């Protein structure tokens, strides 16, 4: 079976177009993977920061007395506001 030069050219163009599309799809998939890795890294960093803040808060609560706002200092502070 002999193809005409015009059909061969069209077939080559079609294959070239398919290859270009495939290359773009692979690039987009790769970019998505990189984006996912970056999001996971940021999530891990934020979680580590949160855990560090929680540990610091626990240490401060051990060292400092925490008031619920019902003590004499809170009443004295409200007296100056005119309420």
pLDDT along the chain (83 residues), means of 10: 76 91 94 96 97 94 76 57 52
CA distance 52 to 44: 12
pLDDT at 7: 83
pLDDT at 18: 93
CA distance 24 to 72: 69
* 73 touches 67 (CB < 8 A): yes
pLDDT at 4: 78
Q: Does pTM top 0.85 for this prediction?
A: no
Q: Residue holding tokens 């050219």?
A: 9
pLDDT at 58: 92
Q: CA 49 from chain center: how many Å? A: 14
């Amino acid at each position: 079976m002999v193809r005409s030069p015009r059909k061969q050219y069209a077939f080559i163009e079609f294959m070239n177009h398919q290859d270009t599309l495939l290359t773009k799809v692979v690039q987009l998939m790769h970019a998505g993977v990189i984006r996912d890795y970056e999001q996971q890294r940021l999530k891990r960093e934020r979680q580590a920061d949160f855990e560090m803040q929680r540990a610091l808060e626990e240490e401060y609560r051990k060292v400092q007395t925490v008031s619920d706002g019902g003590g004499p200092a809170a009443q004295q502070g409200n007296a100056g506001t005119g309420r």
